[in-house]
């Protein structure tokens, strides 16, 4: 793999030469695996991700109390199908792992179609797609199928076979920690519990894995913690085991549905004004501004991290918001939906976010009485009277005016409406010219 280009300010300007291709290849390897909130599918997925970055694999035994929850028994699936009485297979887990409701208990018996119907799930409005359904915390069983195939079922008896096991084992999650030069941390997390759904969330797993690999190759101010855990119960397990370190988390993102062409969309943290919320207003993805949504207590694991007992600065980043695109939680969320260029632009958007977190600082104007003479320092056009003023000149002026020791570069970018990169460049030039200093405690500013 080609090395990631860097410049002296530590900002990553681009990814590997074939970033999109590498991301899509990783998504393609993860896609066929049958994952759930426990089981070998999660372990197999973590083993593949570990080829790119060193992942600490954690196991939490079944029955472990986790706040108001209990870690469930481990689910193992080997086979499942439905046959007509004559032996014709009408639904087969081997063809798509979405065909079986996740956490289905074992079944081996013959029943009439009238009884079987109660256990069949379809999408009448999308008759050619298989839905994704789960039954994690209620003992049940079921199959998902195309509605057109459901309508073709004839009255009569059917042989139902589900070869699964629910037994004491453990819940598995993976964690990566990359220390920084300070004790402050950034948490980035993606759920690992969905089966063959490419956008939700093979895309998030792939993007965060290669992002962790990239960050491991450079020195960072923040420590970066990556969490690959099953939805809800996995996040709760991590929170229960890490309450003593939560105060060190300054910024955090839950990443999912990051490989399609939509968006981007960001749901604010419960706080609503955390620095990560303000950063998201400044970044772009494929040239598009981020659509900002207010917090709600429904969605992915941001609702666990933002529960009132924790209230961490955690937002949800997606390309298309969950539940809003027609492929969501269906067999159409496949490798055709997730494309290399979309994955690459999402990756670069997150590196832009990290660049802002890493390079934001609080400047102090060392010549605050009046406007310093920029021309003799080579920062201003020697010829006056122009009808327009360049963006970089405006960046100099905005930085000098707001560099009173109480505004960071992100604050200045937000107030001015200029790109953060322009403000950061202007501040660096002004600092080199002796017009700016660094305000006290800028490194350890809290969100």
Q: Residue 375's domain is classified under what CATH number?
A: 1.10.10.10
What is the C-alpha to C-alpha distance for residues 122 and 129, in angstroms, rounded to an integer? 8
Pick from 109, 141, 167: which residue ends a domain? 167
Task: Please name the residue ranges forming H helices in 135-294.
Answer: 147-151, 203-216, 233-241, 275-280
Q: What is the largest CA-CA distance in the chain?
A: 92
Bridge partners of 228, per DSSP, are 174, 190
Let me know whether 301 and 210 are in one domain: yes
Let me know whether 139 and 287 are in one domain: no
Asked whether 39 and 171 are in contact (CB, 8 A), the reply is no
Let me know whether 53 and 162 are in one domain: no
Which strand (E) or helix (H) includes residue 284? strand 284-285
Nearest to 25 by CA among 338, 256, 431: 338
The per-residue pLDDT for 381 is: 55
The per-residue pLDDT for 7 is: 30
What is the C-alpha to C-alpha distance for residues 186 and 176, in angstroms, rounded to an integer? 12
Let me know whether 322 and 178 are in one domain: yes
Query: Strands 143-144, 120-121: parallel, antiparallel or unpaired by DSSP?
Result: parallel
The per-residue pLDDT for 17 is: 63
Asked whether 58 and 43 are in contact (CB, 8 A), the reply is no
Is there a domain that residue 5 lies in?
Answer: no
SS3 426: helix
What is the C-alpha to C-alpha distance for residues 265 and 144, in angstroms, rounded to an integer? 30
Is there a domain that residue 245 lies in?
Answer: yes
Is there a domain that residue 6 lies in?
Answer: no
What is the value of pTM for the model shown?
A: 0.90
Q: How many domains does the chain have?
A: 3
The domain containing residue 141 runs over which residues? 79-167
Let me know whether 67 and 204 are in one domain: yes
Let me know whether 145 and 174 are in one domain: no
Is there a domain that residue 445 lies in?
Answer: no
Let me know whether 219 and 313 are in one domain: yes
What is the C-alpha to C-alpha distance for residues 353 and 358, in angstroms, rounded to an integer? 9
The per-residue pLDDT for 344 is: 97
Pick from 307, 342, 359: which residue ends a domain? 359
Asked whether 119 and 141 are in contact (CB, 8 A), the reply is yes
Pick from 306, 339, 359: which residue ends a domain? 359
The per-residue pLDDT for 378 is: 80
- Using a 10 angstrom Cβ sphere, with 0-12 exposed, 13-18 middle and 19 or more buried, the burial of residue 61 is exposed
Asked whether 192 and 234 are in contact (CB, 8 A), the reply is yes
Is there a domain that residue 346 lies in?
Answer: yes
Let me know whether 47 and 119 are in one domain: no
The per-residue pLDDT for 96 is: 97
Strands (E), 102-221: 107-112, 120-121, 143-144, 157-167, 170-178, 185-191
Give the number of C-alpha atoms closer than 13 A to the C-alpha of residue 24, restricted to the C-beta side: 17
Q: What angle do CA 372, 412, 262 make, to 5 degrees?
A: 145
What is the C-alpha to C-alpha distance for residues 251 and 34, in angstroms, rounded to an integer? 32
**Cα-Cα-Cα-Cα dihedral sign, residues 342, 348, 350, 352:** negative
Nearest to 274 by CA among 30, 52, 445, 32: 445
Which strand (E) or helix (H) includes residue 436? strand 436-438
Is there a domain that residue 446 lies in?
Answer: no
Q: Any residues with CB less than 8 A from the CB of 293 and at least 6 apart, and which? A: 265, 266, 267, 268, 321
- In total, the chain counts a number of residues equal to 447
Task: Please name the residue ranges forming H helices in 185-226.
Answer: 203-216
SS3 68: coil
Let me know whether 52 and 126 are in one domain: no
The per-residue pLDDT for 204 is: 98
Let me know whether 340 and 396 are in one domain: no
Q: Any residues with CB less than 8 A from the CB of 432 and at least 6 apart, and which? A: none
Is there a domain that residue 2 lies in?
Answer: no
The per-residue pLDDT for 13 is: 41
Mean pLDDT per block of 10 residues along the chain (447 residues) reads 32 62 98 98 98 98 98 98 97 98 98 98 98 96 98 97 98 98 97 97 98 96 98 98 96 98 97 96 91 96 97 98 97 98 97 96 94 84 46 91 95 92 94 90 44
**Residue 229 maps to which CATH number?**
3.40.630.10
**Residue 127 maps to which CATH number?**
3.50.30.90
Let me know whether 152 and 195 are in one domain: no
Nearest to 438 by CA among 414, 411, 405: 405
Let me know whether 343 and 373 are in one domain: no
Is there a domain that residue 13 lies in?
Answer: no
């Amino acid at each position: 793999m080609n090395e990631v280009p860097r410049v002296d300010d530590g900002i990553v300007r681009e990814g590997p030469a074939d970033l999109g291709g590498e991301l899509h290849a990783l998504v393609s390897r993860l896609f066929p695996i049958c994952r759930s909130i426990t089981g070998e599918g999660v372990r197999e997925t973590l083993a593949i991700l570990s080829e790119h970055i060193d992942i600490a694999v954690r196991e939490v035994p079944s029955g472990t109390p986790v706040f108001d929850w209990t870690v469930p028994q481990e689910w193992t699936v080997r086979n499942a199908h439905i046959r007509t009485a004559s032996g014709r297979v009408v639904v087969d887990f081997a063809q798509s792992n979405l065909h079986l409701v996740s956490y289905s208990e074992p079944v081996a018996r013959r029943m009439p179609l009238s009884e079987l119907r109660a256990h069949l799930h379809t999408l009448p409005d999308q008759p050619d797609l298989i839905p994704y359904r789960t039954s994690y915390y209620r003992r049940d069983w079921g199959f998902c199928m195309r509605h057109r195939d459901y309508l073709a079922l004839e009255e009569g008896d059917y042989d139902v076979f589900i070869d699964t096991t629910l037994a004491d084992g453990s819940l598995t999650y993976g964690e990566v920690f990359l220390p920084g030069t300070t004790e402050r941390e950034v948490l980035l997390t993606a759920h690992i519990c969905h089966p063959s759904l490419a956008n939700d969330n093979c895309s998030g797993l792939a993007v965060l894995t290669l992002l962790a690999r990239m960050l491991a190759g450079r020195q960072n101010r923040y420590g970066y913690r990556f969490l690959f855990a099953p939805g809800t119960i996995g996040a709760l397990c991590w929170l229960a085991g890490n309450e003593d370190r939560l105060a060190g988390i300054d910024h955090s993102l839950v990443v999912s549905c990051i490989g399609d062409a939509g968006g981007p969309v960001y749901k604010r943290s419960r706080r609503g004004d955390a620095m990560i919320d303000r950063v998201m207003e400044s970044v772009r993805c494929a040239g598009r501004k981020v659509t900002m949504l207010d917090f709600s207590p429904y969605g992915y694991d941001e609702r666990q991290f933002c529960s009132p007992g924790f209230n961490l600065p955690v937002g949800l980043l997606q390309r298309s918001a969950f539940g809003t695109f027609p492929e969501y939680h269906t067999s159409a969320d496949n490798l055709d939906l997730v494309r290399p260029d979309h994955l690459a632009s999402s990756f670069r958007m997150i590196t832009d976010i990290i660049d802002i977190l890493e390079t934001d600082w609080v400047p102090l104007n060392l010549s605050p009485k009046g406007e310093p003479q920029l021309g003799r320092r080579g920062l201003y056009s020697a010829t006056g009277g122009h009808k327009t003023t360049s963006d970089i000149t405006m960046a100099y002026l905005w930085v000098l005016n707001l560099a009173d020791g109480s505004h960071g570069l992100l604050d200045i970018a937000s107030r001015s409406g200029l790109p953060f990169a322009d403000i950061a460049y202007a501040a660096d030039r002004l600092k080199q010219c002796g017009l700016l200093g660094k305000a006290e405690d800028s490194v350890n500013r809290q969100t």
